[in-house]
Chain A
Amino acid sequence: MTRRSTSLLVCLSSIVVLLFATAYTAPAPSGKIIVSPAQARQDQILFGRQLVLTHDCGGCHGMAGDNPSAPGYLDGVRDTAQQFHIGPFITRPKNLTPDVATGTGSFTERQLFNALRYGLRPEETPDVQITSMVPGQGNFPLHPHYLAPPMPWTAWRYMSDAELLAIAAYLKNGLKPVKNKVADSDGPPDFWASEYTVEKIGSYPVAPFPTVNEKAP
């Protein structure tokens, strides 16, 4: 089996699992339960792994690129060559392994979800369900602290809930913790808020099709 077809299979099976995941808490029709919760969790983590690889997370967040078996996989920058110079500021991709002090170990999967969906720094945004994108409303911070560019969350926020949760599940549960303290990125005092307005990055959810630049088939 090729890598691509394996991936497809993993994807499909994960989607099936996710579709049925909610059924476990409700009375399920006899014979409908096809995987155990543990199996569902494992499939979710493998789905997340696939998304992390296909979205090139390792390309910035470590020395290993997208090779999970190479040293430095997803554990953050280790030399200045991997930094990004954004105008007068420097962005240093963080350690995504679940080490408590230097990585994602203290974050919940929902905090990681909120980082990917809303661009909010998980170390500065509480573990809450966000129901609004208006600062100060619906648990959206009054002074949002956004992930520093070039983290492409503005595109990845359009992934489905299931996809983003799978990425969070993989980072939290599918990686061994590695201690690597990455220095803070620096940025403007508004933590990029003026760069991430609806006018500049568009709305979430995305505007209905077709927009002025699109046409119906």
Chain B
Amino acid sequence: MVLALSATAVASISPRDALLIRSVAPVVRDVSSSPPLLANISKLPRTVEVNLTAGLTTLILQPGVNSEVFAYNGHVPGPTLDVREGDRVIVHFKNELPEPTTVHWHGIHLPFESDGSPFHPIKSGESHTYEFTVRPGTAGTYWYHPHPDRRTGFAIGKGLFGAIVVHAAHDPLPASISEKLLILSDNRFLKDGTIDFPDAVSQHGGIDEENGREGPVLFVNGRVMPSISIRSGEVQRWRIINASAGRIFRIALAGQTMTQIGTDGGLFEKPVEVQEVLLTTGERAELLVRGGARGTRTVLQNLPYDRYSPNTRPADWKVTRELLTLETSNAPPAAAVTIPPTLRTIEALDTTRATAVRTVVFGQGIINGKTMDMSRVDVSTHVGATEIWDIVNIVGMDHPFHLHGFQFQVIDRDGVREPYVAWKDMLNIPKHSTARIIVRYDDYPGKWMFHCHILDHEDHGMMGVLEVLK
């Protein structure tokens, strides 16, 4: 199995991109050196209190080249917020960036004031304390990132993203299974290491606005083509986050299946054997991965996926890329573990109790024919209401739907009933397709964003305001 990008991959991408990739020598590093954990400074039980600072720094993102980045506590990705269900979380945040920012706790059910949406910007030089209690039953993989007005894509692209891992009070999986965190991202650099954000007026800027900014360099935990070591027969639990601005990952382990056990809002009811997983922007997956024969290796691939409109589809979209190497060591095989056939029970929201059916039409950069206006309320409802949202994508490009504050369940996609119940906060709406979701606004009145999570679309106004009244 090749470690480097294959020759065909390099040959079929643009000369500009090839130039960029050549400077990225494949480096094998252990992904187990994943981002550090945010240190808990609280001495109180069931309380996680951390300091988080966003600031400017210089890091080596690609081997041998310095890049000026935005970083949380000096790291890209930022340090991981590691908590348990029911914990009180207190984040003392300081903005040392030269621009306003926020911290959005993507997927977490929390008070409006702590959502870190564009309604609550934190100016340069200012501090803010975010507080929330992690809702029981929401153990899973989440992430945090900035969500300032019209600058989210820029701020995340500059390096501001980190993981949140919420551990269950009683996890059904055997404790012997080791966990790996895999934060997927991509980026694009100029030759001198500068992160490439083209002028919005340029054609390149226009293509970024259309597609969502993608880069040819693919990262796992900020590293290019790292490796993970596993023993033969060992089962590892991988928590995977797609933190990219526009790239939809379609991941597969060459030559073997994986077991998907969870998604955005935590575990499924039952494990599902999968050949591949489509991970839209902002989406998460929990997978069980098995070690192969002793001394063998396989590769986590990113398979081609056509999310693009015909006019701006990249020439290299059909190229399979490689993300990391999974190396099965020569150590004796690990003892077998039993995966429980039932992971948990999820209450399916009752469609007969829905008090409203909303139609949300995704155009290109617009929702229901409108661009974002923070002084406008697009959907008004009440705490406790259950609603069905009929999300219709009328254009020839995928748009990933994200709702703040409340996890939802998918009812059907293009009329095909969802095969299992799961809690979601991200849902890819493929080109010219429809999906229906059901959501119940448990607690927390306020103004919540719903938007396309292709960050350039979001920043150009493909976002609406859901007001939940008391």
Contacts and interface: CB of A to CB of B under 8 A. Distances in A.
Contacts of B365: 124, 126
B434 A101 contact: yes
B207 interface: yes
Contacts, number: 72
Interface in A98-116: 100-102, 106-108, 111
Contacts of A100: 359, 361, 392, 394
B310 A185 contact: yes
A108 to B, nearest CB: 6
B201 A142 contact: yes
B395 A123 contact: yes
B380 interface: no
Contacts of B368: 106
A189 interface: yes
Nearest to A145: B364
B203 A123 contact: no
Interface string B290-329: 0000000000000000000111100000000000000000
B206 A143 contact: yes
Given A102-B432, A108-B369, A123-B394, A184 B210 contact: no
A136 B311 contact: no
A106 B394 contact: yes
A20 B137 CA distance: 63
A56 interface: no
B366 interface: yes
A106 B370 contact: no
A43 B15 CA distance: 58
A195 interface: no
Interface string B360-391: 01011110111100000000000000000000
Contacts of B359: 100
A145 B205 CA distance: 14
A126 B366 contact: yes
B357 interface: no
A149 to B, nearest CB: 13
Contact of B432 (A108, A111, A181): A181
A143 B370 contact: no
Given A100-B359, A100-B361, A126-B371, A136 B366 contact: no
Given A100-B361, A101-B432, A111-B369, A106 B311 contact: no
Nearest to A187: B311
B209 interface: yes
Given A106-B368, A136-B201, A143 B209 contact: yes
Contacts of B370: 126-127
Q: Is the interface of A mostly helix, strand, loop or mixed?
A: loop
Nearest to B363: A123
A191 B205 CA distance: 14
Contacts of A102: 394, 432
Nearest to A191: B311
A193 B328 CA distance: 53
A106 B392 contact: yes
A119 to B, nearest CB: 15
A184 B310 contact: yes
B315 to A, nearest CB: 11
Nearest to B205: A143
A127 B201 contact: no
A13 B375 CA distance: 42
Contacts of A126: 365-366, 369-371, 461
A188 interface: yes
Nearest to B462: A126
Given A100-B361, A101-B392, A143-B209, A189 B366 contact: no
Interface string A182-201: 01111111110000000000
B200 interface: yes
B374 to A, nearest CB: 15
Given A190-B206, A191-B311, A107 B369 contact: yes
A184 B369 contact: no
A102 B431 CA distance: 11
A125 interface: yes
Contacts of B396: 183-184
A12 B370 CA distance: 35
A123 B396 CA distance: 10
17 contacts: A100-B392, A101-B434, A106-B368, A121-B364, A123-B394, A124-B364, A126-B369, A126-B371, A127-B366, A127-B369, A136-B201, A142-B206, A181-B432, A184-B431, A187-B310, A189-B206, A189-B312
Interface of A: 100-102, 106-108, 111, 121-127, 136, 142-143, 145, 181, 183-191
Given A126-B369, A126-B370, A136-B201, 20 more contacts: A100-B361, A100-B392, A101-B432, A108-B369, A123-B364, A124-B364, A125-B366, A126-B366, A126-B371, A126-B461, A127-B366, A142-B200, A142-B201, A142-B206, A142-B209, A143-B206, A184-B395, A184-B396, A184-B431, A189-B311
Interface of B: 200-201, 203, 205-207, 209-210, 309-312, 359, 361, 363-366, 368-371, 392, 394-396, 431-432, 434, 461
